[in-house]
Chain A
Amino acid sequence: MKSSENSNECFEILISNYEDIILARQKVKSFMQKTGFSVLAQTRIVTAVSELARNIVVHAGQGKMSAYQITKKRNRPGLKCVFKDQGPGISNIDEAMKEGFSTSNSLGLGLSGARKLCNEFHIESAEKKGTTISIVEWL
């Protein structure tokens, strides 16, 4: 977290099955509606949330998503979502971020796509140590 940002935790969702993904999407969507994000931004971020939450279910089995309301200088509000799991982790992040790379018979576009769908994207992972991904969208 950068020192110039203030953060306020809004909600936390435990993610372990497909119903939880829907819940995470709905919560993020309604939060963004309330904060005044455009419909397009809502769709982009909710799609990214869907991808990252599903990654938790598919690869780690369980984890959680925490959402924060953050503010930058000049009171510009934003949304930050942190996806954290204790799963197998990613051994080669650069490779995992490539379009078309998949270990689960999917399109391999989820991770690379999620990065393109939001303003800021940060990933931290090590083998057997789990994965933490945070995304930020500014209003």
Chain B
Amino acid sequence: MTAIAKEISTLLSEHRHDIWELWNKYLIVRAKSVVEVVGVDETKARTRTLLDNLIHVLPAKDDKTNESYQKVMEVLAKVSRRMSEQNMTPSETAMFILSVKEAVFPVIQEHFDDKKFADAIITVNHLIDHFALTTFEVYLDSREELISDQQNAFREISVPVVKVWEKIIMIPLIGMLDSERTQMMMEVLLTALEDMQSKVAILDISGIPVVDTLVARHLITAASAVRLMGAECIITGVRAKIAQTLVQLGVDLGGFTTCTTMADGLQLALELTDQKIG
């Protein structure tokens, strides 16, 4: 296999320019989106680098420390990353490197006899497919990075404190109350109580889709801490289906003030602080 790899390498090297032109032609047909995302001039530069290095990688086989191998990986990683950021599909991304086969095979077919041709095709296929898989991996990695970035961004905005009136603060709770988020909510809530000299804290659970025992426990903990600071805690957004579910679960919120709507909660909070609107 190594001997044939060397032969292919020499052959491709001789026809380097033709292959490169043909490849770029195919790219425009088969992977137009890649060319659009990367840009025509840059595509040409990238394919040139890739082809030059691929020719060197061929005889070296699976040697991952090879300089050309690393160069190919680097270029492919850059392109895949860009494609993923631009919301292109993984197939379009893989087509970028896969399309080189269509430019390489005719040259091999023309210069090798039948027996050698088969070996040569297997060798080239093996190498290019390996790189195509790499583009897919990089694509996935960068997607996962994106998701975890978004999660972080979401976490940051997830616990806002709103001062709704003099001495009254409100925290709208949204989504899933995991322990990390609850920890954050507690900190934000207690700090705000102190800083804003508030007497009433309204925790609105309208945005929590499922109120189970874990959420209930977090609410009870938060409400107890608020009371320790000498303030009142009102839990609003307890809809009919949630009330019924909580009762069946056996969760006792009896010791806490709860309301169906934010409006009721605010009304109550105003009464508790001897205030009136208007």
Residue of A18, A46, A107 touching B213 (CB-CB under 8 A): A107
B250 contacts chain A at the CB level, 8 A cutoff? yes
Report if A47-B211 is in contact (Cβ < 8 Å); known contacts: A18-B176, A99-B250, A107-B251.
Answer: yes
Q: Would you call B249 and A113 a contact (CB within 8 A)?
A: yes
- B213 CB to closest chain A CB (Å) equals 5
Please, which residues of chain A bring their CB within 8 A of the CB of B248?
44, 113, 116-117
Please, which residues of chain B bring their CB within 8 A of the CB of A107?
213, 216-217, 220, 251
In the complex, which residues 1-59 of chain A have their Cβ closer than 8 Å to any Cβ of chain B?
A: 18, 22, 25, 39-40, 43-44, 46-47, 50-51, 54
Nearest B residue to A53 by beta-carbon distance?
Answer: B212
Report if A46-B210 is in contact (Cβ < 8 Å); known contacts: A40-B241, A117-B245.
Answer: yes
Interface size class of B (residues with CB under 8 A): 20 to 34
B244 contacts chain A at the CB level, 8 A cutoff? yes
Q: Would you call A43 and B245 a contact (CB within 8 A)?
A: yes
- B111 CB to closest chain A CB (Å) equals 52
Interface size class of A (residues with CB under 8 A): 20 to 34
A112 contacts chain B at the CB level, 8 A cutoff? yes
- B221 CB to closest chain A CB (Å) equals 10
Q: Would you call A54 and B214 a contact (CB within 8 A)?
A: yes
B242 contacts chain A at the CB level, 8 A cutoff? yes
How far, in whole Å, are A99 and B249 apart by their CA atoms in the complex? 9
Report if A109-B213 is in contact (Cβ < 8 Å); known contacts: A43-B242, A116-B250, A117-B245.
Answer: yes
How far, in whole Å, are A51 and B250 apart by their CA atoms in the complex? 13
Q: Would you call B212 and A50 a contact (CB within 8 A)?
A: yes
Report if A113-B178 is in contact (Cβ < 8 Å); known contacts: A47-B210, A107-B216, A107-B217.
Answer: no
Nearest A residue to B212 by beta-carbon distance?
Answer: A50
Q: Would you call A113 and B176 a contact (CB within 8 A)?
A: no
In the complex, which residues 105-123 of chain A have their Cβ closer than 8 Å to any Cβ of chain B?
A: 106-107, 109-110, 112-113, 116-117
How far, in whole Å, are A117 and B251 apart by their CA atoms in the complex? 12
Please, which residues of chain B bring their CB within 8 A of the CB of A44?
241, 244-245, 248
B interface residues, Cβ below 8 angstroms from A: 176, 178, 209-214, 216-217, 220, 240-242, 244-245, 248-251
